[in-house]
Chains A and B, each alone.
Chain A
Amino acid sequence: MLHVEHLTKNLGDFAIQDVSFDVADGEYFVLLGASGVGKTVLVETLAGLIAPDAGQVRWDGADITHERIQKRRMGLVYQDQALFPHMTVFHNIAYGLRAPSRTAHRERVRSLAAGVGAGELLDRYPPTLSGGEAQRVALARALATEPRCLLLDEPISSLDMRARSEVRALLRGLHRKGHTIMHVTHDYEEAMALASRVGIMEHGTIVQTGTPEEIFHHPKSEFVARFVGIRNFFSGRLEGPARGADGLARFMTDGAAFAVLSDAQPGLGFVILRSEDVTLSKKRPAGSARNCFQGEVLDLAPARLGVEVIIDIGIELAALLTAQSVERLALECGTKVWASFKATAVRFIEE
């Protein structure tokens, strides 16, 4: 088990501050953060390439903060793979390998290469490999040292779509085989697809950890919400339920007011509303939704799934619809529509 406590390192442009988290044996932990937030510094600190200013790294209770790089048994894989260009794939994989005999050595390289689907590449030089092939080789090279934890720095981000899903499948396979993996990325879909647990990093520190479901459904801050792709968040003031006739709290933002189900104290904060939870209709909906607004369509943009519709209801509200719904409602810029969502879909987060 990897145990990181109050890790701090200031490198000027890149810094990490008071970073603490655990990675249990066999866990796939993804650290999610924007570019330049200090993810690579963190990974290099764990690998022992950078000495931290403060804090501790432990493995199964033993302090390895200042352990020599060679003895840490952390398998580091970089985004650009960092394969040695003057060596064949065979020699790249063999670089960190210690084997009792020449035959055992050769067999081990072969089986490592086969394990990542790079068995045919052994005589090639790295500059001739595609991104996906290079990433497989980099993984095999790291696995050759029998690391107790794989440290992956954006292992998928630089690959094309097809290679991405291949490497993803490979990583999932490694996880299933019981490897402990720590993976840093800026891509939340990558995190959701692979992680058994996710940590969110902001300004060099971890602001929330949890399962992907917890993070996605209960983001602790505006930053996390924005990061995991929640489009509707508005800052403003929550006013107590006493004022609302329906027993619901009211959230006042500049241009609109929502009914919110919340037991939070009145005060400043923000609300988040997932664009999937907004329903559009031509007529005023008769259902149970407590928030109904009439507005004009400002924009229609194809999203990864469906179409994102932006409606002006005094503020800009995003709704995610299927392409069929957009067609059925004959939506285009300027169309008047009703947008509705339940008071329970709006989450208030105190500042």
Chain B
Amino acid sequence: MRLGTKTDSFSLVFAALGGLVLLFIIAPLAGMVLRSSFSELSQTAADPEVRDSVWLTLWTSMAATAILAVAGIPLAYLLARKTFPLKELVTAVIDLPIVIPHSAAGIAILGIVSRGTLVGDAAEGIGLQFVGGPGGIIVAMAFVSVPFLINAARDGFAAVPERLEKAALSLGASPLGVFFTISAPLAWRSILSGLILMWARGLSEFGAVVVVAYHPIVTPVLIYERFGAFGLKYARPVSVVFIGVCLVFFIAMRLLARRQNHAAR
């Protein structure tokens, strides 16, 4: 919205306040990057412990996103299209992971996947250990990040005109066919942005993961460990390297999403 090109005091004050917020976000990050020397960063990037943890963090968060996408996207579709009893409650439940403290979420997850519980014992029976293993990390990441995917996908589906689906049905397509040929392609932008958000939220998770699995060590936990054991100077380069890796992935995915949207147009 553009009310006029003339600069007035109103716009100036609001722009100044907005600038402060931007500075607030950029300054600490820029400071951290600028204070790390190149040799420090390359040394850190070559550190096997750092490499292992970055790799672990990336693949567990992607796995969490992929697994929950399979079940979460259909749920998002139901929430966007159907009315059913207790729908409000279901919507509220989906938002729960956002509002509860993540350390508490970790404790709750531990309660169902640790040894001696039904899920924990069953998993151990097939040789999968949640606590202290990648499985636990995936569960913790998925738990705290899945609302972002479901909410984005739900909004995306809701924005697809219902008439298009009805028209497709009357042209002989099955409901599943309509979902894959009409609803999902048209909601794809929102779904993809939900996937990216969920993944980003998962890989930056500390609280829930640290409770369920301190080891194998994910990068957010590694950063905290280096900070606790050696201090700020040693935690900083790991942070910078990790942020760098994440940024590369996000930008690549955004570009990919943009290209797909152009292709669809």
Contacts and interface: CB of A to CB of B under 8 A. Distances in A.
B186 interface: yes
Given A85-B186, A86-B186, A125-B265, A78 B171 contact: no
Interface of B: 161, 163-164, 166-174, 181-182, 185-186, 264-265
Given A82-B161, A84-B181, A95-B168, 6 more contacts: A70-B172, A76-B167, A82-B167, A142-B171, A144-B171, A145-B172
Nearest to A75: B170
27 contacts: A47-B166, A49-B166, A49-B169, A49-B170, A69-B170, A70-B169, A70-B172, A74-B170, A75-B170, A76-B166, A76-B167, A82-B161, A82-B164, A82-B167, A84-B167, A84-B181, A84-B182, A85-B164, A86-B186, A86-B264, A95-B168, A96-B172, A96-B173, A98-B172, A127-B265, A142-B171, A144-B171
A86 B260 CA distance: 11
A76 B165 CA distance: 12
Contacts of A142: 170-171
Given A82-B161, A84-B164, A86-B186, A47 B170 contact: yes
A72 B169 CA distance: 11
Interface string A63-87: 0000001101011101010101110
Contact of A84 (B168, B172, B174): B168
A70 to B, nearest CB: 5
Contacts of B265: 125, 127
Contacts of A144: 171
Given A78-B163, A82-B164, A95 B170 contact: no
Contact of B173 (A78, A95, A127): A95
* Interface residue SS majority, chain B: helix
Contacts of A69: 169-170
A125 to B, nearest CB: 7
B122 to A, nearest CB: 40
B171 A141 contact: yes
Nearest to B188: A86
A276 interface: no
Contacts of B172: 70, 96, 98, 145
Contacts of B166: 44, 47, 49, 76, 82
A52 interface: no
Contacts of A78: 163, 167
B174 A70 contact: yes
B192 to A, nearest CB: 14
A70 B174 CA distance: 7
Contacts of A70: 169, 172-174
Contacts of A47: 166, 170
Q: Output the residue of B167, B173, B186, B265 with the most chain A CB within 10 A.
A: B167
A48 interface: yes
A85 B165 CA distance: 12
Contacts of A76: 166-167, 170
Contacts of A82: 161, 163-164, 166-167
B245 to A, nearest CB: 33
B163 A95 contact: no
A85 B185 CA distance: 10
A328 to B, nearest CB: 53
Nearest to A125: B265
Contacts of A95: 168, 171, 173, 181
